[in-house]
Every structure is written in C-alpha cells, then in structure tokens.
C-alpha cells in the first residue's frame, strides 16, 4: 500500500511544481511584440488618449473578468516614447458599483488636460487630467485625476449629459477649438431612435462641464473623432477631418458648431482589422503631430491569455492628389527605437528563375520592412512572410496589371509613382500593417502565422523587378519578456 501513496504524493508535488511555474508572459506564440496588448483578458477600443508631462496615456476598453467582451472598465498603460508601454492599474470601474454586464459600465471616451483649470477641479500644482466617457445607459460622464493620471475620481455631479433612452449616445471625444475659444464634443448618437439619423452630434462648452447641443451629421457609427490638419504641410491651408468608428473619414470645414463636408466618405484603412480610431490630445505644439491608434477588431489569438491588440501609433497628415485631398498615415518615427541590426540591399535587379531569394538569410518573426521597387517587366511581386521550410507562408502581393496590392484576402488599388511602388511593412507575431506609397494606402490586419516559420521570400513573376532599396530590421520586443 505504501508505494501507491508515495507515487500519488510524487505526482501531486510534480503537478504543483509545474502549476507554480511563472507563465512566459509577453512571449506567447501570438503575443504582439511591438504592438500594445493587455497582459491578460479582453481589450477593445483605445480610450482617453492624452499626453501630460512626458507621458502618453493609453486607456482601453477592458474586461478584467475574461477573454470576451462585457463588464467594461478602462484599462490603463503609459509610455514615454509611444512604443514601450507600462501597464498601470485599472483606471475606471463601473459606475454605481454596477455588477451588470452592460448597465453603468465604462464605454469609450476621450481624455484632455484642463490646462487653465476651467473645471475648477485642480487641487495642487498638477493640472487636472479629464476623462470623458459613456456610462452605458447612465449618461455621458467625467472622471478626473490630480496626480498625473495615477488615481481617478468620478465627478460628483455626473452625468454631464443626461442619459436619453431614445438616442443610444456614446463615445464622447472632446477637443479645443482655437478659433472660437471653446471646447467641442463630438458624440455618436441615433436621435429619436431613427436608424437613418445614426451619426455625430456636436456640442460646445466653455468649462468642460456644461455642454450645449449645436448640430448633428448623419452617416456615422460609434467612436467619432475630429482633427484639424494642414494640407501639404502648409500652416495656412488647413482642413478638418471627421472620423467614423471604422476609420473612414470626411474632409471639410468646421466653424466650431457645424461640419460642412467637402469630400465623399473615404476609407481610412483597407485591411481586415482597423476600428475605433482615436488621436492623442495635448501633444505639445513643438511636436505638433496628430497621432492615431486603433483597435485591431476581429483579431484572433487562439489559446492566448489576452484577447486584443492595438495598431502601431501613426502620424496623420493631408496631401493633395489629382483626385482630391487624402489622408496619409505613417508609423511614428519612434519605431526606429525598436530596430535591431538590419540589412540593406540597393539596386538589385531581380530576374525570375535566375536570382535566388534576396532575403533568404533573414530569419525573424517580427520585422520592419521598408522597400522601394521599380516596376520593369514584372507581372507580380511581393513578400511571403512567416515562411516555413516548405515555402509556405503569408503573402503580400502587388499585381502590376490590376494595380492591386493584396494581403490576407483584402485588396487595394495603388498607383505606382513614376514606375516605383513603395512598401513599408510592420510584421508582428499576429499582425501585419502595410503602408503603400508613403502611407497613402494602408492595410492593417491580424493573422495567425505558421509556427516556427521565420523566413521571408521576396518574389517576382513574369519579368524583371529592380529593388531600388530594401531595408529589413528585426524588431526588438517592447516587453521585458521572460525567456
């Protein structure tokens, strides 16, 4: 009898030893290495993006109880360089101690520094950071911090815009409107519960607490944002851009109360997973950038302890083309902080069947690829990433005749410029972002790569391709990973 008991004890102790082992957090199979993802559990929209005293705050829709949507809280992370994130404790908990999956939970919203203490909420030397959010079915609300965003207090006279059963209002984004010297809130609403009226309402305020309704623009759904951007970098030629939840946008004028459209609705991203975009508030004038991030909605992370990732932060600008003004989106320059020792190729003429794969020595699952390709007689060209020994992987392909760039089943038309196509690709463990022709067309997608497949193949079919320049950098992880 003694022997089986010992055996059982042995198994119990062996099992508990395994159970006690720390998890290899931030180094999991599908864990993004340079895109933000929460340590554990479900994440959706970026919220409350605000810069204060050298810190970029990133809040996000967060369910602390599991890997699926519900019980929304605001998770919180900060960064001093937009690429390395430090996870902070949860910032906002449901209102009225709600334990419901939806009612009075913390839906999306925005952040702003109260520079001139118009709310009167400042206590000491630190300026007040404000978070405007939707308390689902409990109105638009305000929370604030007097200690650089480390602790949060709910405004005692909440809600600042009362709940209205018929309009499903949510996702307030607040900005400063310099010309009118007042604040503007854009808020998604469905006035009178009318599907055709789904759109953005504009409100104004002098003190960030009392808000006055001004106008409504139908044709939008969730997570609005409004930014003013120079056209072709000219400070004397600016346009307003109004964003929809899916990243699509209108270009127009805005007098502080009403948006007047000057463009058709244009797509913001042509990939599979780009949603709930938001730009950072209070970026210092000396920096001057408009920086946007989005939730990679619909991404899948089988068996992972987390469920969600953000796109890489990008700078927005406007550029004039023959068919009108268009949004340009490019990764922030801080991406270079993550470059490992890269490889560069210049003026390589590739002839199908003659050259072997130019990039055959590259072996990595996370890369920053920057290439400029002269289209000579080639039919199709591109990359196969996460390539395995049998030459299987995920394809990014340009078709010269149809002028289409295709990845993971989605396509976008891109015109070469003077016979050259530029491609910038951010490859992470479970996402691919492709910026064509300096950010004039972008595809952000999640994918599930081949396991143990870190090769990359630069292919061309039909004819010659001149690689004017190609740079490939292995990307360092933004996390302190446990190997």
How far apart, in whole angstroms, are the C-alpha atoms of residue 141 and residue 106?
A: 9
Any idea what the Cα angle at residue 307 is, between residues 302 and 309, rounded to 5°?
115
223 part of the interface to ligand FRU, by CB under 6 A: yes
108 part of the interface to ligand FRU, by CB under 6 A: yes
Closest approach of ligand FRU to the CB of residue 72, in Å: 5
Nearer to ligand FRU, 131 or 467 (CB): 131
How far apart, in whole angstroms, are the C-alpha atoms of residue 75 and residue 378?
A: 48
Q: Rounded to an integer, what is the distance from CA 319 to the centroid of its chain?
A: 21
Nearer to ligand FRU, 216 or 403 (CB): 216
Nearer to ligand FRU, 171 or 269 (CB): 171
The one among 30, 36, 56, 107 contacting ligand FRU by CB under 6 A: 107
Closest approach of ligand FRU to the CB of residue 394, in Å: 26
Nearer to ligand FRU, 32 or 224 (CB): 224
Structure tokens at 471: 């740079």
State yes or no: is 45 an active-site residue: yes
DSSP 163-207: --TTT--EEEEEEEETTTTEEEEEEEE-GGG-GGG-EEEEEEESS
The one among 98, 134, 146, 430 contacting ligand FRU by CB under 6 A: 134
The one among 30, 38, 41, 45 contacting ligand FRU by CB under 6 A: 45
- Taking CB under 6 A as the rule, which mask of x and - marks residues 391-430 in contact with ligand FRU? ----------------------------------------
446 part of the interface to ligand FRU, by CB under 6 A: no
The one among 28, 222, 428, 433 contacting ligand FRU by CB under 6 A: 222
Catalytic residue among 45, 246, 365, 428: 45
Asked if 458 and 357 touch (Cβ cutoff 8 Å), the reply is: yes
The one among 33, 43, 61, 145 contacting ligand FRU by CB under 6 A: 61
Closest approach of ligand FRU to the CB of residue 149, in Å: 20
- Residues of span 142-181 touching ligand FRU by CB under 6 A: 170-171
How far apart, in whole angstroms, are the C-alpha atoms of residue 457 and residue 252?
A: 43
Closest approach of ligand FRU to the CB of residue 62, in Å: 9
106 part of the interface to ligand FRU, by CB under 6 A: no
433 part of the interface to ligand FRU, by CB under 6 A: no
Closest approach of ligand FRU to the CB of residue 307, in Å: 13
248 part of the interface to ligand FRU, by CB under 6 A: no
Nearest by Cα to 332 from 281, 375, 280, 295: 280
The percent helix, strand, coil of the chain (3-state, each to 5) is 5, 45, 45
Closest approach of ligand FRU to the CB of residue 276, in Å: 5
Nearer to ligand FRU, 11 or 65 (CB): 65
Closest approach of ligand FRU to the CB of residue 104, in Å: 13
Strand partners, 234: 231
DSSP reduced 3-state for 213: strand
128 part of the interface to ligand FRU, by CB under 6 A: no
Nearer to ligand FRU, 61 or 460 (CB): 61
How far apart, in whole angstroms, are the C-alpha atoms of residue 36 and residue 294?
A: 11
Residue 9: Cβ within 10 Å count? 10
Asked if 245 and 189 touch (Cβ cutoff 8 Å), the reply is: no
Nearest by Cα to 160 from 196, 216, 192, 121: 121
Strand partners, 315: 291, 330
**Any residues with CB less than 8 A from the CB of 376 and at least 6 apart, and which?**
349, 463, 464, 465, 466
141 part of the interface to ligand FRU, by CB under 6 A: no
Nearest by Cα to 31 from 331, 308, 218, 334: 308
Q: Which helix (H) or strand (E) element contains residue 17? A: helix 2-20
276 part of the interface to ligand FRU, by CB under 6 A: yes
Calculated CA dihedral for residues 61, 478, 296, 190, nearest 10 degrees: 30
Asked if 187 and 169 touch (Cβ cutoff 8 Å), the reply is: yes
278 part of the interface to ligand FRU, by CB under 6 A: no
Structure tokens at 47: 């919220």
# of chain residues touching ligand FRU (CB under 6 A) = 13
Nearer to ligand FRU, 69 or 457 (CB): 69
49 part of the interface to ligand FRU, by CB under 6 A: no
Closest approach of ligand FRU to the CB of residue 188, in Å: 7
57 part of the interface to ligand FRU, by CB under 6 A: no
79 part of the interface to ligand FRU, by CB under 6 A: no
How far apart, in whole angstroms, are the C-alpha atoms of residue 448 and residue 39?
A: 19
Closest approach of ligand FRU to the CB of residue 243, in Å: 13
How far apart, in whole angstroms, are the C-alpha atoms of residue 398 and residue 407?
A: 9
Closest approach of ligand FRU to the CB of residue 209, in Å: 21
Distances 117 to 123, 124, 208 between C-alpha atoms, Å: 10, 11, 10
Nearer to ligand FRU, 199 or 439 (CB): 199
Binding interface with ligand FRU (CB under 6 A): 44-45, 61, 72, 107-108, 134, 170-171, 222-223, 245, 276
Q: Which residues are catalytic?
A: 45
């Amino acid at each position: 009898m003694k022997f089986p008991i010992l055996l059982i004890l042995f198994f119990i102790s062996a099992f508990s030893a395994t159970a006690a082992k720390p998890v290899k957090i931030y180094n999991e199979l599908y864990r993004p290495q340079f895109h933000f993802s929460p340590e554990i559990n479900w994440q959706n929209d970026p919220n409350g993006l605000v810069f204060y005293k050298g810190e970029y705050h990133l809040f996000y829709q967060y369910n602390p109880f599991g890997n699926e949507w519900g019980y929304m809280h605001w998770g919180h992370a900060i960064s001093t360089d937009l690429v390395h994130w430090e996870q902070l404790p949860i910032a906002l908990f449901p209102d009225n101690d709600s334990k419901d999956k939806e009612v009075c939970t913390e839906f999306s919203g925005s952040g702003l520094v109260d520079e001139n203490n118009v709310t009167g909420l400042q206590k000491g030397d630190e300026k007040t950071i404000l978070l405007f959010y939707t308390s689902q079915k409990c109105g638009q609300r305000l929370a604030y911090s007097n200690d650089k965003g480390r602790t949060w207090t709910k405004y005692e006279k909440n809600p600042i815009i009362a709940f209205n059963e018929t309009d499903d209002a949510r996702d307030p984004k607040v900005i400063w409107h310099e010309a009118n010297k007042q604040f503007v809130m854009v808020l998604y609403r469905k006035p009178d519960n009318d599907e055709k009226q789904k759109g953005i309402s504009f409100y104004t305020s002098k003190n960030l607490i009392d808000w006055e309704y001004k106008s409504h623009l139908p044709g939008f759904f969730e997570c609005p944002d409004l930014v003013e951007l120079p056209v072709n970098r000219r400070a004397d030629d600016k346009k307003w851009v109004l964003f929809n939840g899916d990243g699509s946008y209108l270009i127009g004028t805005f007098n502080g109360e009403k948006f007047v459209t000057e463009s058709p609705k244009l797509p913001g991203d042509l990939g599979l997973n780009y949603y709930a975009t938001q730009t950072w508030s209070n970026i210092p004038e000396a920096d001057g950038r408009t920086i946007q991030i989005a939730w990679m909605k619909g991404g899948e992370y089988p068996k992972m302890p987390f469920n969600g990732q953000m796109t890489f932060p990008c700078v927005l600008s406007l550029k004039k083309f023959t068919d009108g003004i268009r949004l340009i989106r490019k990764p922030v320059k801080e991406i270079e902080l993550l470059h490992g020792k890269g490889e560069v190729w210049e003026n390589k003429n590739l002839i199908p069947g003659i050259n072997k794969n130019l990039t055959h020595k590259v072996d990595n699952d996370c890369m920053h690829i920057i290439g400029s390709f002269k289209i000579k007689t080639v039919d199709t060209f591109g990359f196969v990433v996460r390539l395995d020994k049998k030459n299987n992987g995920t394809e990014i392909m340009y078709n010269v005749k149809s002028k289409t760039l295709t990845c993971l089943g989605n396509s976008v038309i891109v015109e070469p410029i003077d016979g050259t196509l530029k491609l910038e690709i951010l490859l992470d463990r479970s996402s691919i972002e492709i910026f064509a022709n300096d950010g004039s067309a972008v595809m952000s997608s999640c994918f599930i790569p081949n396991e143990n497949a870190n090769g990359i193949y630069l292919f061309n079919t039909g004819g010659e391709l001149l690689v004017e320049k190609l740079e490939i950098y292995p990307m360092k992880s933004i996390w302190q990973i446990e190997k």
